[in-house]
């Protein structure tokens, strides 16, 4: 399997190179040259299989022979041994045709663990085989940092440096980043905002000698391997509800468009999916885009669902590539418009294609809390605010009654106790991992909002720069 860039000017690469590269050299994102497909019989054959076995079957064609099946299976088994539920991503019924797919049973209580636990092991294996070290530098406003640190702690060939804005993440999120004791974990509180953290990371990646010397690598959702790992739960959940004989729809709480793009990939692979519903909070660039065909970024508003508070959705570029008929020139021109004019417009044909497979619904803050309250009253089920945005979208979207809709639940409600208290008047019981972290010592380095100070800190601690 070869991978090609959405901008058409970077070399086609194999799986391990794409895994270690992240962003393509032409600024584009990598996609498989051709979507692998499963026949109806093959999909039917997944029924009754463990999550881990389905994961091997789904990821195998993407890995393209670069990782032997036994090694891939071992990585997957090891990755999901960190989960607290034996089916990894269980389904819960909340209405006659309404289901919730719980993706939050990993170590940091958010769906990022599902992919990150696999990504870290794949990267470590690839680097060890090449006799190389890598340095991960990332910025986080909350969930990604904890999931990345949890996944990369103690890995042989990788050091991780995570920047977060001092005083601006929740206590639970901060402790997830500051309590791991492994020597390869470096948590940095920047005296600034999340944007400052992101700008520092960008500056480090743009310093090419620095980037090459330290083998800088990224783990955000533009990394193809993360999306690949997320395709799996679309298959396990659809098959559990009767696919391929039965068609299903999904409602997905969307930020960077990674999770829902994995659903699109599942559909391209042959899974009978009717609708993919893009659920957004008031940061609704994607909902507006579906309504108007125009993609225009605006100011970001802070909401109860912070992991969806985005200005632009980087993975949307992958869907654009498909909507334009894989026309890299066209993607380049749209992306140039986005940079120079803050937006772009789809052609009628492209817009029509988009609406053929996707719906979009926006949920405001009051409706998010009301959804949490109503769902609890009707079923006893407590949804986190991100999940509630998608439950609300599933309730409003036009539906075929015979097609069940599966709402992806991306976080455990205990991660957002303040919003839950406002909605229902009590907080969810605290998972044991959160309680335990409360008593552990924290380790963090506070640095000024200054690229040189961070560069100096990273070079002095990273193993990759030595020798």
Residues at the interface with ligand PLP (CB under 6 A):
110-112, 143, 221, 253-259, 307-308, 386, 410-411
**Of 307 and 371, which CB lies nearer to ligand PLP in the complex structure?**
307
Q: How far is the CB of 354 from ligand PLP (least distance, A)?
A: 16
Q: How far is the CB of 156 from ligand PLP (least distance, A)?
A: 27
Q: Which strand (E) or helix (H) includes residue 20?
A: helix 15-21
Specify the residue for token string 């990755």.
Answer: 79
User: Which residues, at least 6 apart from 248, have a Cβ–Cβ distance to it below 8 Å?
Assistant: 237, 238, 241, 272, 273, 274, 403, 404, 405, 406
CA distances from 50 to 56, 256, 459 (A): 10, 29, 43
The closest alpha carbon to 5, from 27, 26, 30, belongs to: 30
Q: How far is the CB of 259 from ligand PLP (least distance, A)?
A: 4
The Cα 330–Cα 6 span in angstroms is 10
Q: Which strand (E) or helix (H) includes residue 274?
A: strand 273-280
Q: What is the CA 57 to chain-centroid distance, rounded?
A: 21
**Number of Cα atoms under 13 Å in the Cβ half of residue 288:** 16
The Cα 180–Cα 107 span in angstroms is 12
Q: How far is the CB of 394 from ligand PLP (least distance, A)?
A: 15
**Of 244 and 358, which CB lies nearer to ligand PLP in the complex structure?**
358
**Of 117 and 221, which CB lies nearer to ligand PLP in the complex structure?**
221
CB of 81 closer than 8 Å to CB of 74? no
CB of 241 closer than 8 Å to CB of 404? yes
**Of 57 and 386, which CB lies nearer to ligand PLP in the complex structure?**
386
Q: How far is the CB of 213 from ligand PLP (least distance, A)?
A: 31
**Of 214 and 286, which CB lies nearer to ligand PLP in the complex structure?**
286
Q: How far is the CB of 168 from ligand PLP (least distance, A)?
A: 16
The Cα 293–Cα 198 span in angstroms is 29
Specify the residue for token string 């008031």.
Answer: 282
Tally Cβ neighbours within 10 Å of residue 73: 17
**Of 114 and 157, which CB lies nearer to ligand PLP in the complex structure?**
114
The Cα 246–Cα 339 span in angstroms is 42
**Of 62 and 257, which CB lies nearer to ligand PLP in the complex structure?**
257
The Cα 95–Cα 86 span in angstroms is 24
134, two tokens: 């890598």
Instruction: Given the residues 2, 34, 112, 415, select the one marked as catalytic.
Output: 112
Q: How far is the CB of 255 from ligand PLP (least distance, A)?
A: 3
49 as an active site residue: the answer is no
Catalytically annotated residues: 112
């Amino acid at each position: 399997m070869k991978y090609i860039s959405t901008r058409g000017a970077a070399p086609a690469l194999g799986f391990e190179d794409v895994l270690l590269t992240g962003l393509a050299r032409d600024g584009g994102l990598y996609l498989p040259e051709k979507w692998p497909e499963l026949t109806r019989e093959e999909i039917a054959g997944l029924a009754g299989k463990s999550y881990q076995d389905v994961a091997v079957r789904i990821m195998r064609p993407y890995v393209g022979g670069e990782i032997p099946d036994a090694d891939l299976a071992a990585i997957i088994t090891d990755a999901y041994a960190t989960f607290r539920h034996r089916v990894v991503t269980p389904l819960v019924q909340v209405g006659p045709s309404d289901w919730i797919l719980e993706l939050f049973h990993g170590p940091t209580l958010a769906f990022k663990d599902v992919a990150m636990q696999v990504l870290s092991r794949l990267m470590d294996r690839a680097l060890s085989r090449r006799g190389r070290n890598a340095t991960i530098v990332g910025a986080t406003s909350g969930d990604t940092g904890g999931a990345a640190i949890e996944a990369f702690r103690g890995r042989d060939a990788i050091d991780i440096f995570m920047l977060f804005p001092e005083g601006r993440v929740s206590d639970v999120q901060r402790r997830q980043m500051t309590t791991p004791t492994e020597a390869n974990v470096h948590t940095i509180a920047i005296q600034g905002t999340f944007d400052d953290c992101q700008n520092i990371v960008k500056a480090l990646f743009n310093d090419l000698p620095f980037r090459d010397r330290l083998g800088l690598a990224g783990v955000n959702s533009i990394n193809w391997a993360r999306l690949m790992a997320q395709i799996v739960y679309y298959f396990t959940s659809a098959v559990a509800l009767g696919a391929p004989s039965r068609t299903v729809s999904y409602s997905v709480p969307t930020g960077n468009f990674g999770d829902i793009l994995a659903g699109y990939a599942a559909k391209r692979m042959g899974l009978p999916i009717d609708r993919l519903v893009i659920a957004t909070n008031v940061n609704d660039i994607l909902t507006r885009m579906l309504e108007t065909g125009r993609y225009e970024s605006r100011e970001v508003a802070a909401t109860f669902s912070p992991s969806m508070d985005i200005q632009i959705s980087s993975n949307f570029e992958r869907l654009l590539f498909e909507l334009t008929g894989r026309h890299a020139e066209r993607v380049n021109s749209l992306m140039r418009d986005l940079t120079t004019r803050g937006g772009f417009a789809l052609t009628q044909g492209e817009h029509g294609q988009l609406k053929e497979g996707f719906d979009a619904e926006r949920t405001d803050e009051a409706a998010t809390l009301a959804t949490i309250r109503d769902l609890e009253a009707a079923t006893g089920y407590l949804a986190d605010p991100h999940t509630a945005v998608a439950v609300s979208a599933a309730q409003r979207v036009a539906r075929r009654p015979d097609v069940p809709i599966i709402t992806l639940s991306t976080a455990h409600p205990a991660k957002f106790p303040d919003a839950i208290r406002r909605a229902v008047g009590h907080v969810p019981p605290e998972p044991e991992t959160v309680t335990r972290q409360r008593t552990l010592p924290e380790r963090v380095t506070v640095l000024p909002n200054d690229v040189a100070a961070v560069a100096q800190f990273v070079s002095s601690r990273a193993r990759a720069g030595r020798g």
